[in-house]
Amino acid sequence: MNDETREAAQETAQQPPIVRLAKVNKHFGNLHVLQDIDLEVVPGEVVVIVGASGSGKSTLIRCVNGLEEFQSGNIEVDGNELLPYGKSGKSLQTIRTEVGMVFQQFNLFPHLSVLDNVTLAPIKVRGWPRDKALQTAHKLLERVGIQDQAAKHPGQLSGGQQQRVALARALAMEPRLMLFDEPTSALDPEMIGEVLDAMRTLANDGMTMMIVTHEMGFAREVADRVIYIHGGQIVEQGPPHEVLDNPQNERTQSFLSRVLKH
Amino acid sequence: MDVTFQFDWQAAIDSIPFLLEGIPWTLLISFGGLAIGFVIGIVFGLLRINPVRLLRWPAIAYIEIFRGTPVLVQVLFIFYGLPQILGGPINALTAGIAAIALNAGAYISEIVRGGVQSIEKGQREAGLSLGLSRPQAFRYIIWPQALRRMIPALGNQGIVSIKDTSLFSVIGVGELVRQGQIYIATTFTALEVYFMVAMLYLVITLSLSYALRLLESRGLVGQ
Ligand SMILES: Nc1ncnc2c1ncn2[C@@H]1O[C@H](COP(=O)(O)OP(=O)(O)OP(=O)(O)O)[C@@H](O)[C@H]1O
Ligand SMILES: [Mg+2]
């Protein structure tokens, strides 16, 4: 991380958070998946969440856009509140229109063309006229380098291309926050770079991002903060050079030594 | 015993005009019943997977009852039984369409359920994460995909229901079999006439199969 970005991060740290989790607890039956999670993310911040399989990373970010309910605590996204047991009313919908998500398995709509994948939500949710939605879609597809594929269906694209379409689809809603759940884990190695490049550009443009990933190089380069989760708890967090290069917690150390060996 | 018999082609051909008069009725009962059955199937298929238990169980009861009893009994019940409750006769065509609708509706409910449940959970989540409401996610994302997957099974149900209408000769509606029976009563050419009746069913069902295969080859089915 260079000085400039660090300064920027410190500057943003003064702003009120866009995401605030307070004492969030989540259970799957007897499994206590998230334990008293307190977390704040400020606008423009890139937070990378790392941790072992089953530690609760996906659950954590899925709570932020209400794909998972939680049982106690409270989550606030850009002033809209999510309450336990999905009793959030209208604010859930508001949050979802303002929070984009990219999934490990892309989850593109296979029956729609690439273009329709990207324009569906702006038209149906934002009520944009078709022209405007199309214009935005073309711009976004160009930005992620797949303007030539607009008429194709997702099944005709490579994994890397599909994930970039998924990114464009989420960005089309002009989100204030982007969630990524292992966006490159389902990709062949040679396609990981193109997706990370697109995400890097997005981060440089100032997007607020919460990213679950095992790409430690990427985290070191792009993250303002790295959070290590273990057993549903935030065990350690800080700038990447601290958490990744000089972890204080024993668990973080052993996790990283396992991950970085690969 | 004299086993030599003659298939009288002339008799078979002669019966065609009279048999053809039954085809509109067969088609009307089949496709009328199937169209209504499709609507029933969508409604009850979706109720069947509704998270609200109170809505699920009537759907389960309907499906089990109409899949678990013969369509012949259903149509007899409607045509001869129901008038005693309603206090007036039911026309045979209405009874036939109702029986196909209710019977096919039960099977189509299960087809709908299977189709909708076969769509990966991630599809809905992707839709919701974009801000679509649940009904929107269903309408624009889940249903179109489910429908494509359902088409082969729906076609199969169509063929079954078309053949089921042959049973409705018992309530006197002038469909294909009934026409055959009437014709045979005066000509005594059962062999030739039932052969022709079978051929006419085949023409209908093969046409449907062919139409479905066309749909499939155009990529409108499956995925
Ligand atoms: N729908 C569910 N029902 C029951 N248990 C679940 C469910 N989803 C997740 N879990 C459990 O909750 C725990 C946390 O899951 P989560 O998916 O958040 O982990 P993760 O950190 O994302 O792991 P991974 O790196 O494998 O994706 C795991 O033990 C998992 O088995
Ligand atoms: Mg996960």
Subunit contact B223:A155, Cβ cutoff 8 A: yes
Instruction: Give the β-pairing of A177-181 and A208-212.
Output: parallel
Query: CB of A199 within 8 A of CB of A211?
Result: yes
Average pLDDT over residues B55-81: 96
Please name the member of A103, A107, A124 whose beta carbon is closest to the beta carbon of B132: A124
Please check the confidence at residue B29 and state whether its pLDDT lies above 70.
yes
**What is the Cα–Cα distance from B165 to A250, expressed in whole angstroms?**
74
Ligand nearest to the CA of A49: 1
pLDDT value of position B109: 98
**What is the Cα–Cα distance from B130 to A99, expressed in whole angstroms?**
8
Atom of ligand 1 nearest to the CA of A68: 1
pLDDT value of position A88: 81
pLDDT value of position A1: 44
pLDDT value of position B223: 46
Interface A-B, measured as beta-carbon pairs within 8 A, has a size of 63
pLDDT value of position B217: 81
Site from A77, A109, A120, A179 to mutate, B interface, most B CB atoms within 10 angstroms: A109
A25 reaches B (C-beta below 8 A): no
Q: Tell me which of A13-22, A65-74, A148-157 is least confident.
A: A13-22
ipTM over 0.90: yes
Site from A92, A93, A107 to mutate, B interface, most B CB atoms within 10 angstroms: A107
Ligand 1 mean position, distance from CA A117 (Å): 28
CATH 1.10.3720.10 is the classification of domain B27-173: yes
Backbone angles phi, psi at A257, to 5 degrees: -65, -30
Domain A19-260 fold = Rossmann fold (3.40.50)
- Which tens digits make up the pLDDT trace of B43-60? 999 999 998 999 999 999
Q: If you take atom 16 of ligand 1, which residue's CA is the nearest one?
A: A56
- Which tens digits make up the pLDDT trace of A81-136? 999 998 888 889 999 999 999 999 999 999 999 999 999 999 999 999 999 999 99
The pTM assigned to this predicted structure is 0.89
A96 reaches B (C-beta below 8 A): yes
A77 reaches B (C-beta below 8 A): no
- Which tens digits make up the pLDDT trace of A212-234? 999 999 999 999 999 999 999 99
pLDDT value of position A4: 53
Q: Name B60's Cβ contacts closer than 8 Å, sequence gap at least 6.
A: B48
Please check the confidence at residue A60 and state whether its pLDDT lies above 50.
yes
Average pLDDT over residues B151-176: 95
Site from B121, B125, B130 to mutate, A interface, most A CB atoms within 10 angstroms: B130
pLDDT value of position A100: 97
- Which tens digits make up the pLDDT trace of B117-160? 999 999 999 999 999 999 999 999 999 999 999 999 999 999 99
pLDDT value of position A89: 82
pLDDT value of position A13: 53
Per domain, the residue ranges of chain B are: 27-173
A223 reaches B (C-beta below 8 A): no
- Which tens digits make up the pLDDT trace of A141-178? 999 999 999 999 999 999 999 999 999 999 999 999 99
Q: Name B57's Cβ contacts closer than 8 Å, sequence gap at least 6.
A: none
Q: How far is B223 from chain A (nearest CA, A)?
A: 8
Residue A96 CB neighbours (<10 A) = 26
The two tokens of residue A101 are 């998500």
- Which residue among A53, A58, A179, A234 has the greatest number of ligand 1 atoms within 8 angstroms of its CB, and so is best to mutate? A58
Q: If you take atom 5 of ligand 1, which residue's CA is the nearest one?
A: A28
Q: How far is A175 from chain B (nearest CA, A)?
A: 9
Residue of A nearest to B128 (CA): A96
Could you please report the per-residue DSSP string of B7-23? --HHHHHHHHHHHHTTH
Per domain, the residue ranges of chain A are: 19-260
Q: How far is B147 from chain A (nearest CA, A)?
A: 11
Q: What is the DSSP letter of B77?
A: I
Subunit contact A170:B120, Cβ cutoff 8 A: no
Q: How far is B130 from chain A (nearest CA, A)?
A: 6
A109 reaches B (C-beta below 8 A): yes
Residue A260 CB neighbours (<10 A) = 10
**What is the Cα–Cα distance from B41 to A173, expressed in whole angstroms?**
35
Mapped onto helix, strand or coil, the DSSP state of residue A96 is: helix
Please name the member of A107, A110, A120 whose beta carbon is closest to the beta carbon of B125: A107
Subunit contact A124:B140, Cβ cutoff 8 A: yes
Mapped onto helix, strand or coil, the DSSP state of residue A100 is: strand
pLDDT value of position B1: 53
pLDDT value of position B222: 47
**What is the Cα–Cα distance from A140 to A118, expressed in whole angstroms?**
9
